[in-house]
Amino acid sequence: MVKRALLSVSDKTGIVDFARGLEKLDIQIISTGGTARMLRDSGIEVTDVADVTGFPEMMGGRVKTLHPKIHGGILCIRDDHDHMGEAQKADVEMIDLVVVNLYPFEITVSKEGVLLEEAIENIDIGGPAMLRSAAKNYRSVSVVCDPEDYGHVLKEIRSTGVVSQISREQLAVKAFRHTADYDAAIDTYLSKELLGQDVLRLNYTDGVTLRYGENWHQEAKFYKEAEVAGPTLANAKQLHGKELSYNNYIDADNALQTVKELSLSKPAVTIVKHNNPCGLSTGNTLLQALQAAWNGDPISAYGSIICTNTVFDLQSAEFLNGKFVEIILAPGFEHDALEYLKNKSANLRLLELPQFNEPFSVDNTYKYVIGGILKQSRNIGIYDKWECVTDIEYPEGIRGVSEFSLHACKCVKSNAVSLAYEYEDGCYMMLSMGAGQPNRVDSIRKLAVTKARENLRVIYERENPDMSFDDYCSNVFSKCVMASDAFFPFDDSVVHAAEHGIKFILSPGGSIRDKEVIDTANRLGVSMVFTGMRHFLH
């Protein structure tokens, strides 16, 4: 039974109401410092720690609870005869509930201009010691380090007089995790301040076993970043389908970031296969965007991942009839669409992410290499400048589709180019892309242009326009914008683009041969903008 509780908190949120609830249950409250003063000021009877230990607080409060009558009362194993005998002999009374949170070290060191001395004074010693003692003895003691837990702990004590075993286990793990994070923050700060060493400590929890890794013979798990908020796969809810694999997570993350890149009010859809967007489009409706994205590469769309920024509706679900898709990721699903898709396949994974259209809360990305880890800031933005470098002016009227093409190219693996055009007023489509080639020329002539013609063949045969296929392609290519993720080291990329009638090119610029590239563009009647921002993606 909970008869005696020790309360000593830095974050005093909710502590008065919690203590008042304990008092009504005739639980003796021990406290110290500012917590004791606050409780007394609120009319709650409190026993000072100093009255329990027989020693006053010492050394400016550095030594308060580090005493056998505190830690003995916490650590004593209740069903151990020797422990209880020693406690009785030393006049140590049991403490059944420990409520502690720690000095705000991380907040302190995040302040601009904070002094080392101030940071050190905000290193809690007694608090972590009590948390660890109580967590170690969780079979007999309940430990609370988070004000969010006050409510359900108090409810359990009111109901049964005790905190349940499962709650004590959960609270103990939470306390150890809290002190581990606290010590990691101290290590990170002092390593830099005292040793000049940059330390990276990551915190990931809730490991889930996946179906398999990149290949069937590899094992894999997914860990969630602690307290991550916003639109991430860690916060997605699976509504239907079999469990995810390693590659599913990789591709779904690419799909999520690709759609989020657009930041448009219109419905947008991306179709991802092998970590590359093979289809990307916006539309006036979700169905229109989905159809255009699918037309971007119907062959690669087989077994793909679809992601949209719009609640998935029945018309779009029906469009997928007879089409094999691995995953659909959306902010939500209309009821009829959800039932239709569930009936479509028992294996189709449906992931709901209500936070989809919120901004990302993550600032950095990490990549593990054998023996180390790489950290970099997220690639935010698509250009640093917008400079037309050719004699032929770049039309302001195609700025929208040009930015769309840059967004698409940014999400394609390097060396990358993207071809995009405005297929309807205000609606954009990635016609094709060239990805992952050792040189950019192959990305253009062997992939992007070839794939564009294949995709246009399907559209041409459906629309049956009054012109030859070559003329139809030339007409579309003349409206396309080609974006490159990096500068052109030679003018051959411009030459191959112009050969197919592409008149508008975006490139970061920055090559020692920029003048040669610009001269070739002028000679071939191509309008080109330098953006000043490279978008390698490995």
Residues acting as catalytic residues:
136, 274
Please give the Cα distance from 290 to 269 (Å, whole number): 6
Q: What is the CA radius of gyration of the chain?
A: 31
Q: Please name the helix (run of DSSP H) or strand (run of DSSP E) that holds residue 4, with its range, or none.
A: strand 4-9
> Is 529 in a helix, a strand, or coil?
strand
Cα dist from 168 to 39, 139, 142, whole Å: 25, 7, 5
Residue 475 is encoded by which pair of tokens?
Answer: 């007409």
Structure tokens at 351: 């992931």
Length of the chain: 538
Both tokens of residue 366? 């990490």
State CA 491 to chain mean position distance: 39
The residues facing 350 across adjacent strands are 240, 328
Cβ–Cβ < 8 Å for 465, 438:
no
How is 415-483 classified by DSSP, letter by letter? S-EEEEEEEETTEEEEEEEE-S-SSHHHIIIIIIHHHHHHHHHHHHHHH--SS-HHHHHHHHHTT-EEE
The closest of 470, 471, 525 to 494, measured between CA atoms, is: 525
Q: Are 31 and 123 a contacting pair, CB within 8 Å?
A: no
At 222 the three-state DSSP class reads: strand
List Cβ neighbours of 15 (8 Å cut-off, separation of 6 or more): 7, 9, 35, 38, 39, 99, 147, 150
Q: Which helix (H) or strand (E) holds 269?
A: strand 268-273
Is residue 405 within 8 Å of 481, Cβ to Cβ? Answer: yes
Lookup: tokens for 538: 């490995």
Residue type at 235 in one-letter notation: N
